Amino acid sequence: MERVELHIAAGGRQEVWRHRAEALDCEVNFAIYLPPQADTAPVPVIYFLSGLTCNEQNFITKAGAQAFAAQHGVAIVAPETSPRGDGVADDPAYDMGQGAGFYLNATEAPWAAHFQMYDYIRAELPALIEATFPVTDARSIMGHSMGGHGALVIGLRNPGRYKAISAFSPIVAPTQVPWGEKAFTGYLGADRSTWAAYDATALLAHAAERLPILIDQGSADNFLETQLKPEIFVAEAQRLGHPVELRMQQGYDHSYYFISSFIGDHIAHHAAALKGT
């Protein structure tokens, strides 16, 4: 690994590292914020998954998370949103290819060779983080938009691995909206029966644990009615008795202005679960 950035923030260290990811068969960056408490003892970790077109920089420079992470004594890891590089398949559209990995394991050419983001986020990256940095194996997961989809899916599919789940403006039912239908057709093929493994709403019925889920959604989000549709997820969760809190935030849009306004609540949600309080 190579450290490519180091900044002091809120008494801790904001770092960016570059490494070769075996699951992705390419080099990628990840960011990690280590709070001041990590200087004296290992701390728990929150994973933040970003949305379409983003990389690790969007979250660490725009969300304002470092001060809250320092307050609660938690690390935050912000990985890439997809494999990247000259040898990695891409698409001219913003919602497919590099920057748009959808946190799944692709099975279709040309994507299958590199687009194994589910395995990278679930297994390879945490193993690397826990072997390299002063952190514990207590983890939680959150994300925004496409990353909210990833956080919900990975959290629901891996009982016992995470202590908490939350999301900003998540794609909750990708098999029922244009973003998901396009990406899943390309990455997973035309057989829709394979898509349910990466649809958070469909996964609720098979969830082996009932972690409380916090979702914040802006009422002025221009993707709300066409791509996000949180009411689908909430209705299914309520039918199954799965605890979920949807907070509709009036006037907020899809941007990091929205995320930065409520990131403190989400970090507190995760910190309480990670520390068992």
Q: Please pick, among 50, 82, 140, 145, the residue that the annotation labels catalytic.
A: 145
DSSP state of 259: H
Q: Where are the alpha helices (DSSP H) in the chain?
A: 56-62, 66-72, 117-119, 125-132, 146-157, 178-188, 200-203, 230-240, 256-274
Residue with tokens 């239908």: 181
Has 39 been annotated as catalytic? no
Active-site annotation holder among 72, 114, 144, 254:
254
Lookup: tokens for 265: 């609540």
Whether residue 206 lies in the annotated active site: no
> Which of 221, 242, 266, 270 does the annotation list as catalytic?
221
255 is catalytic: no
Rounded Cα–Cα distance for residues 201 and 222 (Å): 21
Instruction: Say how far apart CA 23 and CA 118 lie, in whole Å.
Output: 9
Contact 32, 17 (CB under 8 A): yes
In whole angstroms, what is the distance from residue 261 CA to residue 264 CA?
A: 8
Active site residues: 145, 221, 254
